[in-house]
Every structure is written in structure tokens, then in C-alpha cells.
Structure 1
Amino acid sequence: MRKVFFLLAMLISTIVVAQKDVYQFSVKDADGKNVSLSNYKGKVLLIVNTATKCGFTPQYKELQALYEKYKDQGFVILDFPCNQFGEQAPGTIAEIHSYCTANFDISFPQFDKIEVNGTNADPLYTYLKEKKGFAGFDLSDPTGKFMDQMLQKNDKNYKSNPDIKWNFTKFLIDRQGNVINRFEPTTKMMFIEADVKKLL
């Protein structure tokens, strides 16, 4: 039975990796309805896993500012709340959305809560991680150094796998649906903006 499960998992992983762009995936919106990412063809996308009770949560303000600045040029942020990191995204998606609009006035699309790591990881995130694995934190930055030390306490080899390490990890997608870059939560928004501008 274990062998069958392993082979099935390998087959699913192979199918996901074989996908040629993000447009092959569907996700659930805040109302639980399926949304095909092909709806965003021709757009530059920033896909983010978020949380409302995290030290990085104020990034919502920066993300909204970035969205407002470039949305008329074809830039969209896709927000996926995730409760896997310190259980920092509690509550229903309706409660999360209410919090984000009240505190950060977000207007970019926010989707249903998902998992980004493990056996229940959303297929979109399995694909994103396969395309852009973890490249490390900037250890010259105090926050990057803190994140590295914190994660090493739980797993000395955390750097060796492509898993999402924390809330507010971001993937940049070009107008053809290709994964161009991955930004850890410690990456300054000015560097993300520079890459967004190149694609626009």
C-alpha cells in the first residue's frame, strides 16, 4: 500500500511539474468558486502567501501601494492567505478579508486560504516551488539573519528544500505565465518593484 501511495504521489508531482505555465491552474476565490489563472493571461503577476498576525503583515500596505502604482499597466497581485506558519492567519477567509480591507484597504484579488507546503499543498504552489526553489536569505540584513537562525533551530537543513519558509514569500510571473523570480519575505519592496517594472 505504501508503494502504491508513493507511486501515486510521484505521478501527481510529475504532472504538476509538467505544466508549462501558471495558466493551467485553477484556484478558489474568497467565495469558494473556482477561478482559472488563465483569466490573468497577459498580466504581470505577483503571487503571495499572506497572514494577518505576522511580523510581516504590514507588507500589505506596501503591496497595495505597488498594486495601485502599476495596475493600469497590467500588474496584478494574487493574495493567498495561509495558516501554516505559526498559525498566523487564523479565522475564516471572510474575517481575513474584512481585516485586510479595514486595516490596509487592499483592493487586489484575495483567494481562499490554502496550504503551501506538505501533502495538502495547493498544486499551484507545488508548481511555483519546483520552478523557483529557495535561494536563501540575505544574511547581511538583520531580519534575514533572524529568519535564518529561527529556521535553523527547527531544521538544520531547511535550506536544502524548495518549501515556502514563511509568510509573504512572493513569486513574480511574466505576461506569458512563466515564473521569473522568487522573493523571500525579507526582500525589500524596492527590489521587487524594480523587477516588476522590467516585466511591464
Structure 2
Amino acid sequence: MARIALIGASGQAGTRILKELSDRGHAVTAIARNPEKIAALPNVSAKAGDVADKDALAKLLAGHDAVVSAVRFADCDPRVLIDAVRAAGVKRYLVVGGAGSLEVAPGQRLIDQPDFPQAYRPEAGKGAEFLAVLKQEKELDWTFLSPSAEFVPGERTGKFRLGKDALLVGEQGSRISFEDYAVALVDEIERPAHSRQRFTVGY
């Protein structure tokens, strides 16, 4: 059992990651702006937290084995989050990434394609910036897990593929359920294989 702090525990990805961690017996401090929205699950302690308040966040994160960030990129500053994890003395930091920075061909990112939806561009751009900041990070043992292009509610099948920096495309296009994404992320917590790397998951 590991002690995990999960920031953004009430969001779409966060709720699935929280359930997966709880189901596997990990002790989770589930952090959200509105903790009353966090599901009541075994081994879960809900806490109110503000991603803009570095010092208060660092206090919440202290004493954990790993921190998972499942916060919308548009709602946070990567440097504040990274500084909070550092200040808390936690070495492992896993980030729920975005698909926009994945490559559709060598050197060609998904976000830069002409048909990339305009509505998703601001969030995807912030996600790419977050990854760029992480790549400069010298202290933390970080991992950035990018979902496939379609990141949607679905089933927990436990069957998926992993990749590195290239967008994964299968018979149903490029997609992954929140539930199977959570499996891949918690697998990475339990059996680290992508230290200081970005990787991706898809069908």
C-alpha cells in the first residue's frame, strides 16, 4: 500500500483514478476545491485544496509516497504545482497529461494539425507547456501520461496499448476510456517504468 495525494480528485479523470487507487488498497488524500464532491471510498480522505496556493498545497502533500495531478491545465500553473510537490518533500510526481503534444508523424504534433478542434486548443496548448516545464525539472521523479485523442467515459477493460510520444490509433480511432487510463496510471505508480518520461495509452 502506498500513500498517494491526488489533486483534482473530483474531475472526470480524477474520480476514476481515485476509485482505482482505492480498489487496489492504496491510502489516498483526495484533494479538490470542493471536497464534498469527492466520492466516499475506502482508504480515502477528502481535503479542500487550492492549486494556486503553493504553501497550503505543500502541507497537504507532505508525507505521501507520490503525488498525482489530475487538474485541468487551464486551471493551474505548472510551476506552482511543481514547487508545491518539491516543498512537500515528495519525489514522485505523476501528471494526467493531454494528447495535443503527441506526434502524428515525426516532429508533427497533434495540436499543430489544421483539423485540431479550436475549442480544445487552449487546454492542449497549456498541456504542452506543462510537459515542457517538466522536462526541465531536475529534482522530481516525474511521469506525464498522455491519453489518446478521445478521452471519454467508458469501461474498465484492462486491455490497452502503451506508447511513447506518438499518438496511438486503433480500429476505433485514437481513444481511451477514463477507466482504463486510470488502470495504466496506477500500474505506473505500482511498477514504475517511465521515470522522467512522457508516455501514452490507447486502444
Give 1 or 2: higher helix fraction. 1
TM-score for the superposition, normalised by structure 1: 0.39
Give 1 or 2: higher strand fraction. 2
Greater length-normalized contact order (CA 8 Å, ≥ 6 residues apart): 1
For the pair shown, the structure with the greater C-alpha radius of gyration is 1
TM-score for the superposition, normalised by structure 2: 0.39
